[in-house]
Amino acid sequence: MPKSLESVIEIGSTGIRLVVCQRMPDGQFNVIDKSELPVSLGWDVFTSRLVSRETLLQCVKILTRFKEQLAGWGITPEQNSIIATSALREATNRDTVLDRIFVKTGFRVKIIDGIEENFYMYTAVLESLRNDCPQIKTQNSLILAIGGGSTEIMLLNKGKMAVVHSLRLGTVILE
């Protein structure tokens, strides 16, 4: 695998997403591949506190597909970062789910807390708005990211994170 390739898989409340990027010499990232498939983790966890067997099997199937996709780029499970957000954070059977994912795919999943999720969202927003909205670095801004299981709030002071908060309130929880 060329050293410039990096990949991340995110297991969210409503879907599993994969992004493969190439780091350019200037430090910027160029997205070269991405995939997203729906999964009902949030529905399971926010109604019963458990990931059902059916949903776990669906997750493993999606992750196995993504593992094959990454292999096409020469990326192994050990070279990939894989994170999970609020649904797995709140699942009472998360350890069993993480063990099954590792056994079936070789992926070691890191469950991130709301503040870390905020930081990644902040980084992604700044990167995506860098060219299209340069005033984000000179004016105050509010970023509101509504997910399936949580809502991330970030107040920016001239492009710098000033206040962050994570609420246990999302689209799946509201249903």
The model's pTM: 0.81
Token output for 91: 């699942």
Task: Give the single-character DSSP code of 158.
Answer: T
Predicted confidence at residue 3, as pLDDT, reads: 58
Under the phi-then-psi rule, with left for phi > 0, alpha for psi from -120 to 50, and beta for the rest, what region is 170? beta
Compute the half-sphere exposure of residue 10: CA atoms within 13 Å on the CB side of its CA. Answer: 18
Please, what is the end-to-end C-alpha distance for the chain in angstroms? 43
Residue-level pLDDT at 66: 97
CA pair distance 5, 18, nearest whole angstrom? 13
Write the secondary structure of 36-83 as one string of H (helix), E (strand) and C (coil): EEECCHHHHHHHHCCCCHHHHHHHHHHHHHHHHHHHHCCCCHHHCEEE
Contact 150, 117 (CB under 8 A): yes
- What is the chain's pLDDT, residue by residue, as a tens digit (175 residues)? 445 788 999 999 999 999 999 988 887 788 899 999 999 999 999 999 999 999 999 999 999 999 999 999 999 888 889 999 989 999 999 999 999 999 999 999 999 987 787 778 777 777 767 667 777 778 888 888 787 777 888 888 887 878 887 787 777 766 5
Closest CA to 77 of 56, 111, 102: 102
DSSP 77-114: GGGSEEEE-HHHHH-TTHHHHHHHHHHHH----EEPPH
